[in-house]
Amino acid sequence: MRRFFRACLALGGLWLAGFAWFIQDASKPPVTATVCDGIVALTGGEQRVDTAITLLRGGYGHLLLISGVGPHVTLQHILHLQQESLSSPLAARITLGRRATSTIGNAHETAEWATENHLHRVLVVTAGYHIRRAVLEIHRTAPDLDLMPYPVVPLALQGTLSYKILFLMFREYNKLLGAEIGVMTGLPDGREGLDGA
């Protein structure tokens, strides 16, 4: 019984240490972006699409996939927020992916888009708490695709952590662990993100 109790304490300590690392890692600002063939933005949180379009405009990729777009969101609406129009050269380089409703769905949508457009290196834009799981799932689906992570730090993570944010971190950390176990066992994690990604 003592050994079992000690093992539980050790596992709990490892989980807590990993959780503390995860929160710190998710709050790190992105480094300088790498120039790639394409960019994929995984929807579900603030700043992701804006950041991806800014990167596209800056020449960090030739094409952009916005994966997981809702059925009522149009390219015109997205471009309007960016002070661009449908007639701008930027519009022809953006694809809206509407089928993905989970990170695994994002991975399949990204893999198909990259194959169709003969892309070899893709810049992945999503929240810092989601980036590692997203890259993991995309790599599992498209192992030959070179992935460059570009995490976005949501405004909520730039201040004092609230209970709501800690709960989000708790869920996302466990989903990351589930995805890693899925990679090791060859099984999908079978879970969707809190924000639909």
Q: How confident is the model at residue 187 (pLDDT cuts 50, 70, 90)?
A: very low
User: Would you state the structure tokens that stand for residue 54, as one six-digit string?
Assistant: 């800014």
The confidence score (pLDDT) of residue 7 equals 77
Amino acid identity, position 108: H
pLDDT digits (tens, 9 = 90+) for 31-65: 889 999 999 999 987 689 999 999 999 999 999 99
Q: Give the model's pLDDT for residue 156.
A: 66
Q: What is the 3-state secondary structure (H, E, C) of the chain?
A: CHHHHHHHHHHHHHHHHHHHHHHHHHCCCCCCCCCCCEEEEECCCCCHHHHHHHHHHCCCCCEEEEECCCCCCCHHHHHHHCCCCCCCCCHHHEEEECCCCCHHHHHHHHHHHHHHCCCCEEEEEEECCCHHHHHHHHHHHCCCCEEEEEEECCHHHCCCCCHHHHHHHHHHHHHHHHHHHHHHHCCCCCCCCCCCC
Tell me the pLDDT tens digit for each residue of 77-113: 888 877 777 778 899 999 999 999 999 999 999 999 9
| Site of tokens 């989000």 | 168
Give percent above pLDDT 90 in the chain. 52
Half-sphere exposure of residue 60: CA atoms within 13 angstroms, side-chain side: 20
The whole-number pLDDT of residue 197 equals 37
Q: Report the candidate in 44, 17, 38 with the shortest Cα–Cα distance to residue 131.
A: 44
Q: Return the beta strands (E) in the chain as ranges.
A: 38-42, 63-67, 94-97, 121-127, 146-152
- pTM score of the predicted model: 0.82
Answer for the pair 97, 70: CB distance below 8 angstroms, yes or no: no
Which range has the worst mean pLDDT, 19-23, 94-98, 116-120, 169-173? 19-23
Residue 189: predicted pLDDT: 42
| Amino acid symbol at 37 | D
Q: Write out the two tokens for 181.
A: 């176990």
